[in-house]
Amino acid sequence: MIDIKSLYFPELESFIVENGFPKFRAKQIWSWLNKSVKSFDEMKNLPKNLVEFLCGSCYISVANIEKKLVSRYDKTVKYLFRLNDGEFVETVVMNYHHGYSICLSTQVGCKMGCTFCATGKSGFSRSLSASEILSQIESAQNDLNVRISNIVLMGMGEPLDNFDNVIRFLNLVSCEDGLNIGMRHITLSTCGIVPKIYELAKHNFALTLSVSLHAPDNETRSKTMPVNNRYPIEQLIKACRDYFDTTGRRISFEYAMIEGVNDTDECAKKLSNLLKGLNCHVNLIPVNSVKGSDFKKSRIDRQKAFINILNKNSITATVRRTLGSDINASCGQLKRNHTEEGGK
Protein backbone atom coordinates (compact mmCIF):
# COMPACT_ATOMS: atom_id res chain seq x y z
CA MET A 1 0.00 0.00 0.00
CA ILE A 2 1.26 3.45 -0.91
CA ASP A 3 1.51 6.13 1.78
CA ILE A 4 -0.20 8.75 -0.39
CA LYS A 5 0.31 11.73 1.93
CA SER A 6 4.08 11.24 1.87
CA LEU A 7 4.25 11.78 -1.90
CA TYR A 8 5.45 15.04 -3.42
CA PHE A 9 2.93 16.50 -5.86
CA PRO A 10 4.84 15.46 -9.05
CA GLU A 11 5.06 11.91 -7.65
CA LEU A 12 1.31 11.84 -7.03
CA GLU A 13 0.71 13.13 -10.54
CA SER A 14 2.88 10.41 -12.15
CA PHE A 15 1.21 7.75 -10.03
CA ILE A 16 -2.26 8.86 -11.16
CA VAL A 17 -1.29 9.14 -14.83
CA GLU A 18 0.61 5.82 -14.88
CA ASN A 19 -2.51 4.12 -13.60
CA GLY A 20 -4.64 5.47 -16.44
CA PHE A 21 -6.39 8.41 -14.78
CA PRO A 22 -6.30 12.00 -16.09
CA LYS A 23 -3.64 14.30 -14.69
CA PHE A 24 -6.08 16.84 -13.23
CA ARG A 25 -7.32 14.23 -10.74
CA ALA A 26 -4.00 14.49 -8.93
CA LYS A 27 -4.73 18.13 -8.10
CA GLN A 28 -8.13 17.22 -6.70
CA ILE A 29 -6.67 14.44 -4.56
CA TRP A 30 -3.87 16.73 -3.35
CA SER A 31 -6.36 19.36 -2.31
CA TRP A 32 -8.48 16.82 -0.37
CA LEU A 33 -5.38 15.50 1.36
CA ASN A 34 -4.58 19.06 2.40
CA LYS A 35 -8.06 19.32 3.90
CA SER A 36 -7.06 16.45 6.20
CA VAL A 37 -9.66 13.96 5.00
CA LYS A 38 -9.26 10.58 6.65
CA SER A 39 -10.68 8.38 3.86
CA PHE A 40 -10.91 8.36 0.07
CA ASP A 41 -14.74 8.20 0.27
CA GLU A 42 -14.69 11.81 1.46
CA MET A 43 -13.16 12.94 -1.86
CA LYS A 44 -16.55 13.91 -3.28
CA ASN A 45 -15.53 15.08 -6.75
CA LEU A 46 -13.71 11.87 -7.75
CA PRO A 47 -15.35 9.19 -9.92
CA LYS A 48 -16.19 5.89 -8.24
CA ASN A 49 -13.57 3.88 -10.13
CA LEU A 50 -10.80 6.24 -8.96
CA VAL A 51 -11.98 6.08 -5.34
CA GLU A 52 -12.01 2.28 -5.60
CA PHE A 53 -8.54 2.28 -7.13
CA LEU A 54 -7.19 4.53 -4.36
CA CYS A 55 -8.81 2.41 -1.64
CA GLY A 56 -7.15 -0.69 -3.07
CA SER A 57 -3.67 0.76 -3.56
CA CYS A 58 -3.08 3.55 -1.02
CA TYR A 59 -3.69 4.54 2.57
CA ILE A 60 -4.03 7.90 4.34
CA SER A 61 -1.91 8.38 7.46
CA VAL A 62 -3.79 9.62 10.49
CA ALA A 63 -2.90 10.75 13.99
CA ASN A 64 -5.97 10.11 16.12
CA ILE A 65 -6.24 11.67 19.54
CA GLU A 66 -5.90 8.96 22.17
CA LYS A 67 -5.35 11.30 25.10
CA LYS A 68 -5.22 15.09 25.52
CA LEU A 69 -3.90 17.04 28.48
CA VAL A 70 -4.24 20.81 28.88
CA SER A 71 -2.03 22.71 31.30
CA ARG A 72 -3.92 24.75 33.87
CA TYR A 73 -1.07 27.26 34.02
CA ASP A 74 -0.34 28.22 30.45
CA LYS A 75 -2.77 26.36 28.12
CA THR A 76 0.01 24.14 26.75
CA VAL A 77 -1.65 21.10 25.18
CA LYS A 78 -0.14 17.67 25.04
CA TYR A 79 -1.49 14.93 22.80
CA LEU A 80 -0.95 11.24 22.70
CA PHE A 81 -1.72 10.29 19.10
CA ARG A 82 -2.53 6.80 17.85
CA LEU A 83 -1.15 6.05 14.37
CA ASN A 84 -2.62 3.72 11.72
CA ASP A 85 -0.78 0.67 13.08
CA GLY A 86 -1.68 1.36 16.71
CA GLU A 87 1.67 2.89 17.74
CA PHE A 88 1.59 6.03 19.90
CA VAL A 89 3.51 9.29 19.68
CA GLU A 90 3.44 12.50 21.70
CA THR A 91 3.01 16.03 20.41
CA VAL A 92 2.92 19.29 22.36
CA VAL A 93 1.36 22.60 21.30
CA MET A 94 2.55 25.76 23.03
CA ASN A 95 0.96 29.17 22.81
CA TYR A 96 3.59 31.89 22.77
CA HIS A 97 2.80 35.58 22.26
CA HIS A 98 4.03 35.31 18.67
CA GLY A 99 1.77 32.37 17.81
CA TYR A 100 1.35 28.64 18.19
CA SER A 101 4.35 26.35 18.23
CA ILE A 102 4.23 22.60 17.88
CA CYS A 103 6.75 20.06 19.13
CA LEU A 104 6.66 17.03 16.83
CA SER A 105 7.81 13.45 17.18
CA THR A 106 9.86 11.91 14.39
CA GLN A 107 10.13 8.33 15.68
CA VAL A 108 8.25 5.98 17.98
CA GLY A 109 10.85 5.85 20.73
CA CYS A 110 14.54 6.50 20.14
CA LYS A 111 17.69 4.41 19.77
CA MET A 112 20.03 6.96 21.30
CA GLY A 113 19.50 6.10 24.95
CA CYS A 114 20.28 9.44 26.64
CA THR A 115 19.98 8.73 30.35
CA PHE A 116 18.00 11.88 31.26
CA CYS A 117 15.35 11.35 28.58
CA ALA A 118 12.02 9.56 29.03
CA THR A 119 11.90 8.61 25.33
CA GLY A 120 15.43 7.25 25.45
CA LYS A 121 14.48 5.05 28.37
CA SER A 122 11.57 3.36 26.65
CA GLY A 123 13.44 1.91 23.67
CA PHE A 124 12.82 2.17 19.94
CA SER A 125 9.95 0.86 17.88
CA ARG A 126 10.11 2.49 14.42
CA SER A 127 10.64 5.69 12.47
CA LEU A 128 7.72 7.84 11.35
CA SER A 129 6.92 8.50 7.71
CA ALA A 130 6.77 12.08 6.44
CA SER A 131 2.97 11.91 6.43
CA GLU A 132 2.86 10.77 10.05
CA ILE A 133 4.92 13.78 11.07
CA LEU A 134 2.58 16.06 9.04
CA SER A 135 -0.53 14.43 10.50
CA GLN A 136 0.44 15.50 14.00
CA ILE A 137 0.20 19.14 12.88
CA GLU A 138 -3.08 18.64 11.04
CA SER A 139 -4.75 16.83 13.93
CA ALA A 140 -3.65 19.45 16.45
CA GLN A 141 -4.73 22.34 14.19
CA ASN A 142 -8.13 20.78 13.58
CA ASP A 143 -8.67 20.01 17.24
CA LEU A 144 -7.64 23.46 18.49
CA ASN A 145 -9.01 25.36 15.52
CA VAL A 146 -5.88 27.49 15.24
CA ARG A 147 -3.07 27.93 12.73
CA ILE A 148 0.25 26.63 13.91
CA SER A 149 3.10 28.87 12.80
CA ASN A 150 6.23 27.34 14.30
CA ILE A 151 7.60 23.83 14.39
CA VAL A 152 10.23 22.26 16.59
CA LEU A 153 11.38 18.71 15.92
CA MET A 154 11.99 18.06 19.60
CA GLY A 155 9.43 15.40 20.44
CA MET A 156 10.10 11.69 20.55
CA GLY A 157 12.94 10.41 18.41
CA GLU A 158 16.13 11.56 16.75
CA PRO A 159 15.29 13.41 13.49
CA LEU A 160 18.67 12.74 11.89
CA ASP A 161 18.25 9.01 12.53
CA ASN A 162 15.19 9.23 10.26
CA PHE A 163 16.91 11.45 7.73
CA ASP A 164 15.11 10.81 4.44
CA ASN A 165 11.61 10.96 5.90
CA VAL A 166 12.45 14.12 7.84
CA ILE A 167 13.80 15.81 4.68
CA ARG A 168 10.62 14.80 2.86
CA PHE A 169 8.54 16.17 5.73
CA LEU A 170 10.45 19.47 5.67
CA ASN A 171 9.88 19.87 1.93
CA LEU A 172 6.18 18.98 2.22
CA VAL A 173 5.37 21.16 5.21
CA SER A 174 7.06 24.22 3.75
CA CYS A 175 5.46 23.83 0.34
CA GLU A 176 3.19 26.71 -0.70
CA ASP A 177 0.18 24.58 -1.53
CA GLY A 178 0.69 22.46 1.57
CA LEU A 179 0.73 23.66 5.18
CA ASN A 180 3.11 26.38 4.02
CA ILE A 181 5.15 26.73 7.19
CA GLY A 182 8.42 28.34 6.11
CA MET A 183 11.82 26.90 6.99
CA ARG A 184 12.61 29.99 9.06
CA HIS A 185 9.86 28.87 11.43
CA ILE A 186 11.27 25.38 11.85
CA THR A 187 13.86 24.11 14.34
CA LEU A 188 15.45 20.69 14.03
CA SER A 189 17.02 19.30 17.17
CA THR A 190 19.69 16.59 17.12
CA CYS A 191 21.78 14.74 19.67
CA GLY A 192 24.69 15.07 17.23
CA ILE A 193 24.83 12.47 14.47
CA VAL A 194 27.84 14.06 12.81
CA PRO A 195 27.72 12.69 9.21
CA LYS A 196 24.05 13.66 8.97
CA ILE A 197 24.81 17.23 10.05
CA TYR A 198 27.13 17.52 7.02
CA GLU A 199 24.42 16.02 4.85
CA LEU A 200 21.77 18.39 6.20
CA ALA A 201 24.04 21.37 5.53
CA LYS A 202 24.08 20.45 1.83
CA HIS A 203 20.32 21.03 1.65
CA ASN A 204 20.94 24.62 2.69
CA PHE A 205 17.56 24.96 4.40
CA ALA A 206 16.85 28.19 6.29
CA LEU A 207 15.82 26.24 9.38
CA THR A 208 17.48 26.48 12.79
CA LEU A 209 19.71 23.59 13.75
CA SER A 210 19.60 22.94 17.45
CA VAL A 211 22.28 20.68 18.89
CA SER A 212 21.70 18.91 22.20
CA LEU A 213 25.10 19.39 23.76
CA HIS A 214 24.41 19.09 27.50
CA ALA A 215 28.10 18.87 28.46
CA PRO A 216 31.35 20.68 27.62
CA ASP A 217 33.71 17.67 27.52
CA ASN A 218 33.69 14.05 26.36
CA GLU A 219 33.93 12.55 29.81
CA THR A 220 30.81 14.30 31.09
CA ARG A 221 28.88 13.97 27.85
CA SER A 222 29.51 10.26 27.38
CA LYS A 223 28.08 9.61 30.85
CA THR A 224 24.62 10.79 29.83
CA MET A 225 24.68 10.57 26.00
CA PRO A 226 25.94 7.29 24.51
CA VAL A 227 25.99 8.90 21.04
CA ASN A 228 29.07 10.80 22.22
CA ASN A 229 31.14 7.60 22.17
CA ARG A 230 30.50 7.36 18.44
CA TYR A 231 30.75 11.06 17.59
CA PRO A 232 32.83 12.86 20.22
CA ILE A 233 32.53 16.56 20.97
CA GLU A 234 35.44 17.77 18.79
CA GLN A 235 33.89 16.15 15.72
CA LEU A 236 30.46 17.50 16.63
CA ILE A 237 31.65 21.09 17.04
CA LYS A 238 33.63 20.84 13.79
CA ALA A 239 30.44 19.75 12.01
CA CYS A 240 28.58 22.68 13.59
CA ARG A 241 31.23 25.14 12.34
CA ASP A 242 30.89 23.62 8.87
CA TYR A 243 27.09 23.87 9.13
CA PHE A 244 27.32 27.57 9.87
CA ASP A 245 29.87 28.17 7.11
CA THR A 246 27.68 26.39 4.56
CA THR A 247 24.25 27.72 5.52
CA GLY A 248 24.99 30.99 7.32
CA ARG A 249 22.47 29.95 9.97
CA ARG A 250 23.28 30.50 13.63
CA ILE A 251 23.36 27.25 15.63
CA SER A 252 21.42 26.75 18.84
CA PHE A 253 22.88 24.60 21.59
CA GLU A 254 20.63 22.94 24.14
CA TYR A 255 22.14 22.46 27.56
CA ALA A 256 20.01 20.72 30.19
CA MET A 257 21.40 21.74 33.56
CA ILE A 258 21.75 18.82 35.93
CA GLU A 259 22.74 19.57 39.50
CA GLY A 260 26.29 18.50 40.24
CA VAL A 261 26.78 16.91 36.83
CA ASN A 262 27.30 19.66 34.26
CA ASP A 263 26.52 22.93 36.03
CA THR A 264 29.79 23.94 37.71
CA ASP A 265 31.76 27.13 36.96
CA GLU A 266 34.42 24.87 35.50
CA CYS A 267 31.84 23.46 33.03
CA ALA A 268 30.75 26.98 32.05
CA LYS A 269 34.39 27.95 31.34
CA LYS A 270 34.99 24.82 29.30
CA LEU A 271 31.79 25.43 27.36
CA SER A 272 32.88 29.01 26.62
CA ASN A 273 36.19 27.75 25.20
CA LEU A 274 34.50 25.06 23.17
CA LEU A 275 32.11 27.48 21.48
CA LYS A 276 34.56 30.36 21.03
CA GLY A 277 34.15 32.09 17.68
CA LEU A 278 31.12 30.04 16.64
CA ASN A 279 27.99 32.00 15.79
CA CYS A 280 25.59 30.38 18.23
CA HIS A 281 23.11 30.74 21.05
CA VAL A 282 22.97 28.56 24.16
CA ASN A 283 19.60 27.54 25.60
CA LEU A 284 19.90 26.48 29.19
CA ILE A 285 17.10 24.20 30.33
CA PRO A 286 16.71 23.15 33.95
CA VAL A 287 16.54 19.36 33.49
CA ASN A 288 13.07 17.84 33.87
CA SER A 289 12.86 14.99 36.29
CA VAL A 290 12.03 11.67 34.69
CA LYS A 291 10.77 8.50 36.35
CA GLY A 292 13.61 6.12 37.00
CA SER A 293 16.47 8.63 37.10
CA ASP A 294 17.56 10.74 40.03
CA PHE A 295 18.79 13.81 38.16
CA LYS A 296 17.90 17.08 39.82
CA LYS A 297 17.59 20.45 38.10
CA SER A 298 20.25 23.02 38.93
CA ARG A 299 19.34 25.67 41.46
CA ILE A 300 18.50 29.19 40.27
CA ASP A 301 21.75 30.66 41.63
CA ARG A 302 23.74 28.01 39.70
CA GLN A 303 21.82 28.84 36.52
CA LYS A 304 22.61 32.53 37.00
CA ALA A 305 26.31 31.94 37.74
CA PHE A 306 26.58 29.69 34.68
CA ILE A 307 24.97 32.19 32.36
CA ASN A 308 27.17 34.99 33.70
CA ILE A 309 30.32 33.09 32.82
CA LEU A 310 29.05 32.40 29.29
CA ASN A 311 28.04 36.02 28.79
CA LYS A 312 31.38 37.28 30.07
CA ASN A 313 32.97 35.16 27.38
CA SER A 314 30.69 36.75 24.72
CA ILE A 315 28.44 33.73 24.37
CA THR A 316 24.76 34.56 24.29
CA ALA A 317 22.63 32.32 26.45
CA THR A 318 19.17 32.28 27.96
CA VAL A 319 17.38 30.06 30.41
CA ARG A 320 14.43 28.58 28.61
CA ARG A 321 11.00 29.10 30.11
CA THR A 322 9.41 25.73 30.75
CA LEU A 323 5.79 25.43 29.69
CA GLY A 324 3.27 22.81 30.68
CA SER A 325 5.09 21.73 33.81
CA ASP A 326 1.91 20.22 35.28
CA ILE A 327 1.33 17.93 32.26
CA ASN A 328 4.84 16.54 31.89
CA ALA A 329 5.23 18.50 28.69
CA SER A 330 8.65 17.09 27.91
CA CYS A 331 8.09 14.30 25.47
CA GLY A 332 8.20 10.61 26.12
CA GLN A 333 6.58 10.66 29.52
CA LEU A 334 2.92 10.46 28.53
CA LYS A 335 3.50 7.50 26.25
CA ARG A 336 5.54 5.80 28.91
CA ASN A 337 2.81 6.22 31.50
CA HIS A 338 0.17 5.11 29.00
CA THR A 339 2.10 1.96 28.10
CA GLU A 340 2.91 1.13 31.71
CA GLU A 341 -0.76 1.49 32.65
CA GLY A 342 -1.53 -1.03 29.92
CA GLY A 343 -3.10 1.57 27.64
CA LYS A 344 -5.74 2.79 30.09
Note whether 290 binds ligand SAH by CB under 6 A.
yes
Minimum separation from the CB atom of position 30 to ligand SAH (A):
30
- Contact (Cβ atoms closer than 8 angstroms) between residue 192 and residue 153: no
Q: Which stretch binds ligand SAH (CB under 6 A): 93-101, 162-170, 183-191, 264-272?
A: 183-191
Q: Give the x/- contact pattern for ligand SAH in 242-281, rule: CB under 6 A.
A: ------------x-x-------------------------
- Phi and psi dihedrals of 57, rounded to 5? -125, -15
Q: Which does 81 bind (CB under 5 to 8 A by kind): ligand SAH, ligand SF4, none?
A: none
Note whether 114 binds ligand SF4 by CB under 6 A.
yes
Indicate the residue among 40 and 169 with the shorter CB distance to ligand SAH.
169
Minimum separation from the CB atom of position 255 to ligand SAH (A):
9
Q: Which residues contact 285 (CB under 8 A, 6 or more apart)?
A: 254, 255, 256, 257, 319, 320, 322
Note whether 190 binds ligand SAH by CB under 6 A.
yes
**Residue 108 β-bridge partners:** 126
Minimum separation from the CB atom of position 284 to ligand SAH (A):
10
The residues annotated with a catalytic role in the active site are 90, 331
Minimum separation from the CB atom of position 236 to ligand SAH (A):
12
Note whether 285 binds ligand SAH by CB under 6 A.
yes
Q: Which stretch binds ligand SAH (CB under 6 A): 55-63, 139-147, 171-179, 188-196?
A: 188-196
Amino acid symbol at 31: S
- Contact (Cβ atoms closer than 8 angstroms) between residue 21 and residue 91: no
Angle at which helix 163-173 crosses helix 194-203, to 10 degrees, equals 30
Calpha distance 267→231 (Å, rounded): 20
Indicate the residue among 6 and 119 with the shorter CB distance to ligand SF4.
119
Pick the closest to residue 286 from 305, 259, 265 (CA basis): 259
Note whether 112 binds ligand SF4 by CB under 6 A.
yes
What DSSP character marks residue 152?
E
Minimum separation from the CB atom of position 248 to ligand SAH (A):
22
Note whether 189 binds ligand SAH by CB under 6 A.
yes
Angle at which helix 130-144 crosses helix 163-173, to 10 degrees, equals 40
Q: Which stretch binds ligand SAH (CB under 6 A): 92-100, 143-151, 186-194, 216-224?
A: 186-194
Q: Give the x/- contact pattern for ligand SF4 in 201-240, rule: CB under 6 A.
A: -----------x----------------------------
Indicate the residue among 117 and 194 with the shorter CB distance to ligand SF4.
117
Calpha distance 217→271 (Å, rounded): 8
- Exactly one of 158, 172, 249, 251 binds ligand SF4 (CB under 6 A); which one? 158
Pick the closest to residue 305 from 289, 317, 294, 323 (CA basis): 317
Calpha distance 132→84 (Å, rounded): 9
Minimum separation from the CB atom of position 116 to ligand SF4 (A):
7
Q: Which residues contact 12 (CB under 8 A, 6 or more apart)?
A: 4, 26, 29, 30
Q: Where do the DSSP E strands lie in 157-258?
A: 186-190, 208-212, 251-257
- Contact (Cβ atoms closer than 8 angstroms) between residue 6 and residue 168: yes
Q: Where do contacts with ligand SAH occur on this chain (CB under 6 A)?
A: 116-117, 154, 158, 189-191, 212, 254, 256, 285, 287-288, 290, 330
Q: Where do contacts with ligand SF4 occur on this chain (CB under 6 A)?
A: 110, 112-114, 117, 119-120, 157-158, 191, 212
